[in-house]
């Protein structure tokens, strides 16, 4: 089963608000990835992080690879309606123990628009 704890599970946003979500693990990862999934589509890569402490931006999105290598967060600034969707974190363990380059996924954060 999943080994990554992703929170929050869901949240409502109002246009213009900043959003923050995070993932934690009991294991160390060499790579952290953040994906977004829109309805009826597959997950799309947003940001990839390869080094502990790394802070990377992609437009209004910023993600960080935690110093302990056991966590990562994703921030979205000034949210817009098209930010709605499900965001997944994924971690990739040390290559020596992961010959198949497999990923471990978080359970997802569902972003919805406040009515």
Please identify which residue in 41, 81, 82, 96 interacts with another protein, judged by CB under 8 A.
41
Q: Which range in 12-20, 55-63, 67-75, 104-112 contacts another protein by CB under 8 A? A: 104-112
Is the distance from CB of 46 to CB of 32 less than 8 angstroms? Answer: no
Please identify which residue in 65, 79, 106, 109 interacts with another protein, judged by CB under 8 A.
106
Please identify which residue in 13, 19, 23, 33 interacts with another protein, judged by CB under 8 A.
33
Q: How far apart, in whole angstroms, are the C-alpha atoms of residue 13 and residue 9?
A: 13
* C-beta atoms surrounding 76 within 10 Å: 22
Q: How far apart, in whole angstroms, are the C-alpha atoms of residue 110 and residue 37?
A: 9
For another protein, the binding residues in 42-101 under the rule CB under 8 A are 42-45, 48, 50, 88, 90, 92, 95, 99-101
Of 78, 71, 79, 50, nearest in space to 7 by CA: 71
Interface ranges with another protein (CB under 8 A): 1-2, 30-31, 33, 35, 40-45, 48, 50, 88, 90, 92, 95, 99-103, 105-108
């Amino acid at each position: 089963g999943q080994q990554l704890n992703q929170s929050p599970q869901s949240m409502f946003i109002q246009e213009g608000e900043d959003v923050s979500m995070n993932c934690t693990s009991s294991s160390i990862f060499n790579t952290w990835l953040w994906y977004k999934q829109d309805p009826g589509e597959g997950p799309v890569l947003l940001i990839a992080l390869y080094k502990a402490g790394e802070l990377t931006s992609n437009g209004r999105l910023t993600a960080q690879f935690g110093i302990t290598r056991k966590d990562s967060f994703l921030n979205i600034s000034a949210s817009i309606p098209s930010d709605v969707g499900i965001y997944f974190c994924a971690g990739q363990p040390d290559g020596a123990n992961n010959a198949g380059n497999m990923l471990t996924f978080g359970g997802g954060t569902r972003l919805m628009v406040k009515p």
